[in-house]
């Protein structure tokens, strides 16, 4: 296939250089976006009188037929083409002759690829956004059934204070909610169409960039032709948002790995999302959670690749930017795969309530409530804190818990202790009274669930 840039160079491109220069094996994924952008461009050229209306209609109809043939398999992409843009243009010209050669009027591959990638990333971002909504729905459903499931909350991976399984699930819901809004923010900023910027300096043809932008679903054209072809911020911003999604998935998966272990035994992961061992018949390994945790590094690498790729480039387009697609595609593919398998796995995670409650009864996680009890009696909190710490140390030395320690022993530490202290440090009561906004009390969890449902409904 002859090069669309042939003319300036008299010699043939070295075969090794030709192969090295080619991007068709990567950017062939953009065929639908390339054709969609070309149809819009043809319609704009015809509207502005740059080509005839008949030529515009012929080009658009032929491009739609090429797209249909690619979708059906009747037409295969020629991998000897330099890139997807040259393949589509060559196929169009082969079908309709000189009219096809007019399509590239007032356009460059620079603004063409900037558009194609923007369209592709926009579409994929909406798909990832939908998967995040699926996760939020699954978390809300799980939380609604686990509001009374008391478990230890941790700091430093040490038992700290009592919470509920629902409260933990809703903590992750807040993370994924932020992820969704980050994607929305990025989509809002990339809602501009670069087509018409041409190579870097626009064109002398009387084009209508606003019309092209509206045809392609953008609110406006990009404001500067140099920036239009040099910008890949939208890739970096979305892949950054995807990296945070992976961060949150990875943290959640680490919890599932821990909670499903014999040492915790807080949850059971469905058999459909675990594997066995080739030598140890008793094993039930959380491989899916571990793989998601491991794949997080891939998306981080994609983000680093994009940042490094662009950090030293002068204006405007440089061939280095051909490498933007591999990183962007890999990040999208990885995030979609991880979200796609995580949601059904989450739906099959079941809490083992009795084990969570048993763990909550160890570790003195109601010690803060004991200090709060004294503070409510008028003891300065720091004094109450010290007394509670002394009582915990005494219980450890004597094999007692805060619930089992007799009242007369409590009174040795402070005369303010009365019979009502046992109700105050009961684990279920400890959770129920934490009604501060965002807390783990059932009443607070209900508010969080209500707010999330309203958020999901708005989206």
Active site residue 126: no
Residue 277 a catalytic site member: yes
Q: How far apart are CA 132 and CA 411, in angstroms?
A: 53
The CA distance from 156 to 220, in Å, is 49
Contact of 147 with 262, CB cutoff 8 Å: no
Determine which one of 52, 145, 277, 443 is catalytic.
277
Question: Measured between alpha carbons, how far is residue 122 from residues 128, 237, 328 in Å?
Answer: 10, 12, 12
Helix axes 165-189, 442-458, angle to 10 degrees: 30
Which helix (H) or strand (E) segment holds residue 220: the answer is: strand 220-221
Are 139 and 346 a contacting pair, CB within 8 Å?
A: yes
Which among 156, 228, 328, 436 is annotated as catalytic? 156
The burial class, CB within 10 Å (0-12 / 13-18 / 19+), for 153 is middle
Residues paired with residue 164 on neighbouring β-strands, in sequence order:
150
Tokens linked to 251: 């943290």
Find the Cα–Cα–Cα–Cα dihedral 315, 318, 322, 326, rounded to 10°: -50
Report the phi/psi class of residue 378: left, alpha or beta, with left for phi > 0 and alpha for psi in -120 to 50: left
Pairing of strands 158-164, 150-155: antiparallel
The DSSP result for 285-349, as a single string, is B-HHHHHHHHHHHHHHHHHHHHHHHHTTPPSS--GGGGGHHHHHHHHHHHHHHHHHHHHHHHHT-
CA gap 211, 160 in Å, rounded: 60
Token pair recorded at residue 388: 């509670």
Nearest to 67 by CA among 105, 33, 111, 101: 33
User: Would you please indicate which residues are annotated as catalytic (active-site) residues?
Assistant: 156, 277
């Amino acid at each position: 296939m002859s090069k669309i840039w042939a003319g300036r160079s008299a010699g043939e491109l070295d075969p090794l250089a030709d192969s090295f220069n080619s991007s068709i094996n990567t950017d062939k994924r953009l065929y639908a976006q390339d054709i969609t952008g070309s149809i819009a461009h043809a319609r704009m050229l015809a509207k502005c009188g740059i080509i005839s209306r008949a030529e515009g209609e012929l080009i658009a109809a032929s491009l739609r037929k090429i797209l249909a043939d690619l979708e059906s398999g009747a037409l295969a992409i020629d991998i000897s083409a330099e890139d997807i843009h040259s393949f589509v243009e060559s196929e169009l010209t082969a079908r309709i002759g000189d009219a096809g050669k007019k399509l590239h009027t007032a356009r460059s591959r620079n603004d063409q690829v900037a558009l194609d990638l923007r369209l592709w990333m926009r579409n994929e971002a909406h798909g990832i956004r939908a998967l995040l909504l699926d996760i939020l729905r699954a978390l809300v459903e799980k939380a609604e059934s686990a509001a009374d499931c008391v478990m230890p909350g941790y700091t430093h991976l040490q038992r700290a204070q009592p919470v509920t399984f629902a409260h933990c699930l809703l903590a992750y819901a807040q993370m994924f909610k932020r992820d969704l809004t980050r994607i929305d923010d990025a989509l809002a900023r990339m809602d501009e169409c670069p087509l018409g910027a041409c190579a870097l300096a626009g064109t002398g043809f009387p084009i209508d960039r606003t019309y092209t932008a509206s045809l392609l679903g953008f609110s406006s054209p990009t404001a500067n032709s140099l920036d239009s072809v040099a910008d890949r911020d939208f890739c970096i911003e979305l892949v950054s948002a995807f990296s945070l999604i992976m961060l949150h998935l990875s943290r959640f998966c680490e919890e599932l790995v821990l909670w499903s272990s014999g040492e915790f035994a807080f949850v059971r992961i469905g058999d459909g999302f675990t594997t066995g061992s080739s030598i140890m018949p008793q094993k039930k390994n959380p491989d899916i959670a571990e793989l998601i945790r491991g794949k997080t590094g891939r998306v981080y690498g994609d983000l680093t690749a994009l940042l490094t790729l662009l950090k030293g480039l002068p204006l405007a387009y440089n061939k280095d930017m051909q490498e933007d697609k591999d990183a962007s595609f890999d990040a999208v593919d990885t995030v979609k795969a991880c979200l796609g398998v995580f949601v059904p796995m989450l739906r099959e995670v079941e809490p083992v309530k009795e084990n969570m409650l048993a763990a909550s009864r160890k570790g003195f996680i109601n010690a803060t409530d004991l200090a709060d009890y004294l503070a409510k009696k008028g003891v300065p909190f720091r004094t109450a804190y010290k007394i509670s710490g002394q009582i915990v140390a005494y219980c450890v030395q004597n094999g007692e818990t805060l619930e089992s320690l007799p009242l007369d022993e409590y009174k040795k530490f402070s005369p303010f202790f009365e019979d009502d202290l046992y109700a105050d440090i009961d684990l279920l009561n400890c959770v129920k009274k934490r009604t501060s906004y965002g807390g783990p009390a059932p009443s607070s969890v209900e508010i969080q669930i209500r707010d999330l449902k309203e958020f999901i409904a708005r989206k």
